[in-house]
Amino acid sequence: MKKYLFMPIIFGVLSFVKLGAAPMDAYYCFSTTEDAAVVEKMDNFMANDAAKGLPSVTLWAMLLNGQESETHCAVQQHPNGASFEKAGAIFQSQAGQDFLRDLSTVIVPGLEGAGTPMLNFGDVDFEKNPYLALYNLRVKDAKRYGEVFSDFIGSADLPGSATLYQDTFTGTENRTHYVVMSGPSLDALMDGISSTLSSDNGQKFQKRASNVRKLLSTNLMLHVKTWN
């Protein structure tokens, strides 16, 4: 079965899961050599009346992500489970199926999953802060790590924003949580992370965090475009 037909089926299956009112960022990653064509196809669909009711959708370029083959990720930012279910219905419509068929001509589908934002700090504006560092984590004690992370980031001088996610429907092996940190440029992001971690507070955080989490990998992403 083609992946573009499978995606709406996933939406349908997950509609039976009680998600409650928690926000959820669903991510659909893929590889492509036709970046402009992907944006054009998404532009056309998002401008279609059939796409009305979709949440904010952001396209990210995966600049550096190790051995992973995906070049991009599209993220749907759902405020609750009802929003996710509504998006599923839209993609199951004829217009939604036509869009997915068309998109499948220029992409190879990859990683899929969803995460729930647990803690957020700073200015979450990816137009202003388009560079993103993604930290993939395996956490042993979520409550404890949340406290440690909050103490650390709450007093940090961030170049942009920092958000801690818990994997709701994980797509990455062994990952339970992930952190994204944004900045207005690559230099500003790297300098901000380096100075924050090398501070006394940062050294204390790394020591405390090492007891409850393992860093699996670090990726670099770039904001391409946001719709809605």
Q: Read off φ and ψ for residue 111, nearest 5 degrees.
A: -60, 135
Check if the beta carbon of residue 132 is closer than 8 Å to that of residue 58.
no
pLDDT tens digits for range 41-100? 999 999 999 999 999 999 999 999 998 999 999 999 999 999 999 999 999 999 999 999
- pTM of this prediction? 0.89
pLDDT tens digits for range 91-106? 999 999 999 999 999 9
Which residue(s) pair with 29 in the sheet? Answer: 73
Check if the beta carbon of residue 162 is closer than 8 Å to that of residue 121.
yes
Structure tokens belonging to residue 94:
């004829």
Q: Classify 59 as helix, strand or coil.
A: strand
Hey, what domains does the chain have and what are their CATH numbers? 3-114 (3.30.70.100), 116-223 (3.30.70.100)
Structure tokens belonging to residue 217:
């990998």
Q: What is the pLDDT of residue 194?
A: 95
pLDDT tens digits for range 131-163? 999 999 999 999 999 999 999 998 888 899 999
Q: What is the pLDDT of residue 3?
A: 31
Structure tokens belonging to residue 83:
């929003």
Structure tokens belonging to residue 109:
């589908």
Helix intervals (H) in the chain? 3-14, 35-46, 81-92, 94-103, 142-153, 186-198, 200-209
Residue type (1 letter), 124: V
Percent of the chain with pLDDT over 90: 85
Check if the beta carbon of residue 165 is closer than 8 Å to that of residue 177.
yes
Check if the beta carbon of residue 84 is closer than 8 Å to that of residue 137.
no
- pLDDT band at residue 21 under the 50/70/90 scheme: low
